[in-house]
Structure 1
Amino acid sequence: MIAIIDYGMGNLRSVSKALEHIGVTCEITDNPETIRQSDGIVLPGVGAFPKAMKELEERGLISLIKEQAASGKPVLGICLGMQLLFEASEEIEFTEGLGLLPGTVRKLPVGRKIPHMGWNALETKQESPLLQGLTGNPYVYYVHSFYADTANDVIVAGSDYGVFVPGVVSKGNIYGAQFHPEKSSDVGLKMLQNFKELVETCSSSQQLT
């Protein structure tokens, strides 16, 4: 079972419907025991970084997510959820994030329409199980005004929008997508399918140990 973290902000139903479409058993929840018993975690999100961190804190979810990430459980952040995985954000005011990935979330530079909304080609920088089976420069659907300023070895793929926007990031068992896989047609569904398989592999490995 994949737990979709509910902290009052995010496209929860569209994410759960996409996961259900590819055969994933999932639950939208903020219940600590349900999250602990899950095989994988999806952290979605739409809105402002400071409010999101406040909501996570008030629900006691910050330490829980860090605990689950440290256990080796696969975690996938989507859009704002991906940004929350980083150390901090400059949105509205400087706010500390979950610190699961190195880097700071910054505003997109002037010169392009903000928010960056619509389809953009994804340029692969390194191999990742999340992109397994995807070739060329597939198009994905973005809606965001901020991007992750992070280390090159964290960036799996990204898109040009006046600055190189990390579209897919990963480090160990932590994964993120700045765009919306659930709105990115077959490409997004394939990525979610790949995450499903990562979760299944990880769960099977833990059962054998």
Structure 2
Amino acid sequence: MTTATPQKKVVVFDYGFGNVRSAERALARVGADVEITRDYDRAMNADGLLVPGVGAFSACMDGLRQARGEWIIDRRLSGGRPVMGICVGMQILFARGIEHGVETEGLDEWPGTVGPLKAPVVPHMGWNTVEAPAGSELFAGVDDDARFYFVHSYAVREWELEVTNPAMRAPQVTWATHGEPFVAAVENGALWATQFHPEKSGDAGAQLLTNWIETL
């Protein structure tokens, strides 16, 4: 496992719905200068912004809006400044979430719907492998059979974004399977996200965070 270059400033966005301390420890482990805050200016000016998420889609969106998180994410991405979402922090980047029949608008950075995972056992809790695309920066240096830690009952089962302009690079989508295939990670320019928890995924997760830090 490599260590990221020190001095990269990363803000873990604290909007009340994420394992911020676990994320802080994992990022510090790979050499980042980490701060937990919801301060607008600090979040805007950091080299990287990490958005965790735990709980219901609708509650996370409410918390994010109360902390002006949707503005921060949108403005950072408009300027090409890196953002990474984890677990529900990834799910809220899609257009909508449906839980218990209730539809909630997401940030709509990507089209698509977060819905109930159809599997014999739900939640999907524990270790699982993923299928990353060739040339993935996020999974660089990670063994093909590496396992990552998931805890979720909802997922994106269909990738809906179509890139028709040949001059534009299509997002790289990583898949996993639990009962059915679902989106496990996305790399899309300055916006990266994982459904699993890299901060709880041992050395493989640490390598992913290192890879992200090295792009900042």
TM-score (norm 1): 0.90
Indicate whether 1:174 and 2:191 are aligned.
yes
Instruction: Spell out the pairing of 1:124-203 with structure 2 (5 A cutoff).
Output: 124-148=132-156, 149-151=158-160, 154-199=171-216
- State the match for 1:105 in structure 2: 114
Q: Report the count of equivalent residues.
A: 198
Larger helix proportion of the pair: 1
Provide, for residues 168-195 of structure 1, a one-character-per-residue CA deviation record: whole Å limited to 9, x for no partner. Answer: 1121211111000011111000000000
- 1:135 is displaced (CA, Å) by 2.8
User: Which one-letter code corresponds to 1:166 in the other structure?
Assistant: V
Q: Which moved more, 1:159-168 or 1:121-130?
A: 121-130
Provide, for residues 34-63 of structure 1, a one-character-per-residue CA deviation record: whole Å limited to 9, x for no partner. Answer: 011101110001100101111111222212
Equivalent of residue 105 in structure 2, options 82, 91, 96? 96
For residues 52 and 23 of structure 1, the distance between their equivalents in structure 2, rounded to whole angstroms, comes to 28
- State the match for 1:19 in structure 2: 27
For residues 120 and 134 of structure 2, the distance between their equivalents in structure 1, rounded to whole angstroms, comes to 27
Provide, for residues 148-206 of structure 1, a one-character-per-residue CA deviation record: whole Å limited to 9, x for no partner. Answer: 1323754532211111121111212111110000111110000000000011xxxxxxx
What secondary structure does 2:142 align onto?
coil
Provide, for residues 37-94 of structure 1, a one-character-per-residue CA deviation record: whole Å limited to 9, x for no partner. Answer: 1011100011001011111112222122111111101111000101011111112411
- State the match for 2:44 in structure 1: 36
TM-score (norm 2): 0.87
For residues 63 and 50 of structure 2, the distance between their equivalents in structure 1, rounded to whole angstroms, comes to 16
Q: Structure 1 residues 108, 154: closer, same or farther in 2, change over 3 A?
A: farther
Considering only aligned residues, what root-mean-square deviation do their CA atoms show, in Å? 1.4
Residue ranges of structure 1 left out of the alignment (5+ in a row): 200-209
Q: Which moved more, 1:76-85 or 1:89-98?
A: 89-98
